Amino acid sequence: MKKFALIALASMAVSFSSVAQESPLTQEMKDHAVKIGEAAYKSNLTKDLITSLTTEVGHRLAGTANDKKGREWAMRKMREMGFDRVWEEPVDFPLWHRGSASLEMTAPFEHDLHIVALGTSIGTPEGGLTAEVVQFDEYKDLVEAEPNSLDGKIAYVSLRMAKTGLKGYGYAGQARRMGSVAAAKAGASAIIIRSIGTDDNRTPHTGSMNYEDGVTKIPAAALSNPDADLLDNALKYGEPVTLKLEMSSHSHDPVVTYNVLGEITGSEDPEKAVLIGAHLDSWDLGTGALDDGTGVSIVMSAAKHILDGGKRPKRSVRVILFAAEEEGLIGAREYVRAHKEDHKDFDNILLGAEWDSGTGRIINFAPGVGPTSLSVAREIGYVLAPYGVATLMTNTAKGQSDMSLLGNAGMPAVNLGMEPTNYFDFHHTANDTLDKVDMDAITHNAAIYAMFSYMAADVDVDFTK
């Protein structure tokens, strides 16, 4: 009995080791990925790209002349770096003009308050609107406001974003994304929110907002954190507080912008591709360094490192720089539509990953692939372990930011998680500038992107399975 068990164990060991030897991720692939990564750590390319983008172009508000400059910059750089193919794909969207925005407290005290218009907001009537402000602690309280209870008033949501990274952002951000609809349903003539940000500067944070068909559109703006504190204090006196809001923001008929793509063409099956992405557009207040100049530089640099490695992966590595992410993932939505419905080549995407997380160092690798390819996805992750990247034992990644729309449409994905940073001190503000970028961290991130995307494009495995 004992002998039998030993024989069974021995034969299991043989079959396990033969399975391990047959892994489609060969030692040669891993060694080549490490060679690419080691070279990437020694390169200044990622740093040079983000410095060039923020200096030569600056902000890239979708549809503006700067947006066009940004696309021309990206295509020129990718061609200069020797990408095999560089092209654009059109995206329609309504151009938005920020215009001017001002807010005064007129009673019971007088102050000029620092605000910015939320992206895609309408403006006020000319000459502005003056109204009493009604405070809500958070978005869910505003949702409960009775119809007509805010007639002729300005709604104000005072919740301060918790310093808990994306979780805090997601929760507090509800007021920004949906507050205008809730406020308008209760009759408000405008909405002011405390900035969705973790700083204590008089630099308010812009960001996307939404209107709903059938609900009156009202102007929406964000107040800087210190100014929100001031308003909170004024409200504590229990007397009516009145504000005068004046904004000239407005939208136009649809214009065309473009997703920009660049490819390192695969040696055997070039139609199939690993997609590494970022968004090229930015808000217009800063220079779009953290959001998302870092991502643009990281993915362009990663592809160039693969090219410089001297050996093409079997399938292509495609860089995608999405358009009009900030206004609501518009470029990504169009990409899914065009490639699922028009070109019907969506299934050729092997795996996708985006960087839209500012300047933090990548510390984990989270796959979202089919059950039989999961072991290979994890093996790819294990190659990154010596570089401080842990492979998470989950298999739920759908892709981040723009790429989440592709992940939800069926694309296998990888999410790269980062160390905690002070990203939300600067996010969507005039302070989103190059000095906030940790150059060592983005160089590390480009090396990680280069290694995993090379392996994913070279290995013979279907990540949907």
The interface region with Zn ion, picked from 220-228, 335-343, 348-356, 424-432 by CB under 5 A, is 348-356
**In the stretch 287-326, what mask flags binding to Zn ion with x, by CB under 5 A?**
----xx----------------------------------
* Shortest spacing between CB 299 and Zn ion, in angstroms: 13
Nearer Cβ to Zn ion (199/291)? 291
Nearer to Zn ion, 199 or 356 (CB): 356
Q: Output the six-digit token pair for 71.
A: 């696309």
CB-wise, 227 or 292, nearer to Zn ion? 292
Burial class (CB in 10 A: 0-12, 13-18, 19+), 414: buried
Token pair, residue 370, equals 């089919």
184: helix, strand or coil: helix
CB of 327 to Zn ion, least distance (A): 11
Task: Select 205 or 244, whichever has its Cβ closest to Zn ion.
Answer: 205
Please give the angle made by the CA atoms of 91, 97 and 99, to the nearest 5 degrees.
170
**Candidates 1-9, 87-95, 355-363, 436-444; binding stretch for Zn ion (CB under 5 A):** 355-363
Name the segment binding Zn ion (CB under 5 A); options: 11-19, 155-163, 284-292, 405-413.
Answer: 284-292
Contacts 24+ apart (CB under 8 A), 105-112: 105/230, 105/231, 105/234, 105/241, 105/242, 105/243, 106/130, 106/242, 106/243, 106/244, 107/239, 107/240, 107/241, 107/242, 108/234, 108/237, 108/239, 108/240, 108/241, 109/234, 111/227, 111/230, 111/234
Rounded Cα distance, 32 and 309, in Å: 8
**17 versus 408: smaller Cβ distance to Zn ion:** 408
User: What is the number of residues in the chain?
Assistant: 465
Q: Which residue has the tokens 């796959």?
A: 367
* Least distance from Zn ion to the Cβ atom of residue 404, Å: 12
Q: Which is nearer to Zn ion, 291 or 458 (CB)?
A: 291
CB of 325 to Zn ion, least distance (A): 6
CA 304 centroid distance within chain: 22
- Contact by Cβ (8 Å): 264, 273: no
Residue 149 or 408 having the CB closest to Zn ion: 408
Reference 92, options 420, 417, 337; nearest CA is 337
327 versus 379: smaller Cβ distance to Zn ion: 327
Q: Which is nearer to Zn ion, 246 or 291 (CB)?
A: 291
Residue closer to Zn ion by CB (options 81, 332) is 332
* Minimum distance from residue 249 beta carbon to Zn ion (Å): 20
Total residues in contact with Zn ion, by rule CB under 5 A? 3
* Choices 14-22, 37-45, 122-130, 283-291; region in contact with Zn ion by CB under 5 A: 283-291
Is residue 356 a contact point for Zn ion (CB under 5 A)?
yes
Q: What residue type is assigned to position 155 of the chain?
A: A
| CB of 356 vs Zn ion, minimal distance in Å | 4
Stretch that binds Zn ion, among 87-95, 111-119, 158-166, 286-294 (CB under 5 A): 286-294
Binding to Zn ion by CB under 5 A, coded x per residue (else -) over 387-426, reads ----------------------------------------
Q: Three-state SS string across 14-28, please?
A: HHHHHHHHCCCCCHH
Side-chain-side CA neighbours of residue 336 (13 Å): 15
**Any idea what DSSP says for residue 293?**
I
Residue 345 vs 419, nearer CB to Zn ion = 419
- The answer to whether residues 204 and 172 touch, using CB atoms and an 8 Å cutoff, is no
**Which of 302/321 has CB closer to Zn ion?**
321
Binding piece for Zn ion, criterion CB under 5 A, among 225-233, 350-358, 383-391, 453-461: 350-358
> Smallest distance, Å, CB 165 to Zn ion?
14
Q: How far is the CB of 426 from Zn ion (least distance, A)?
A: 12
Please report, as residue ranges, which positions from 142 to 201 form the binding site for Zn ion (by CB under 5 A).
Answer: none
Q: Tell me the sheet residues that pair with 87.
A: 261
Say whether the peptide bond before residue 108 is cis (omega within 30 degrees of 0).
yes
Closest CB 292 distance from Zn ion, rounded Å: 4
Query: Within 245-264, which residues bind Zn ion (CB under 5 A)?
Result: none
* Cβ pair 416, 298 in contact under 8 A: no
CB 115, min distance to Zn ion, A:
21
Question: Minimum Å distance from CB 173 to Zn ion?
Answer: 13
Provide the minimum distance between the beta carbon of 56 and Zn ion in the complex, in angstroms, as a whole number: 20
- Residue 91: name the closest of 338, 280, 346, 274 by CA: 338
DSSP string, 201-269: SS-----B----TTS----EEEE-HHHHHHHHHHHTT-S--EEEEEE--EEEEEEEEEEEEEEE--SSE
Distance CA 209, CA 181 (A): 9
458 binds Zn ion (CB under 5 A): no
Tell me the C-alpha distance between 79 and 71, whole Å.
Answer: 12
Q: For binding to Zn ion (CB under 5 A), which residues are involved?
A: 291-292, 356
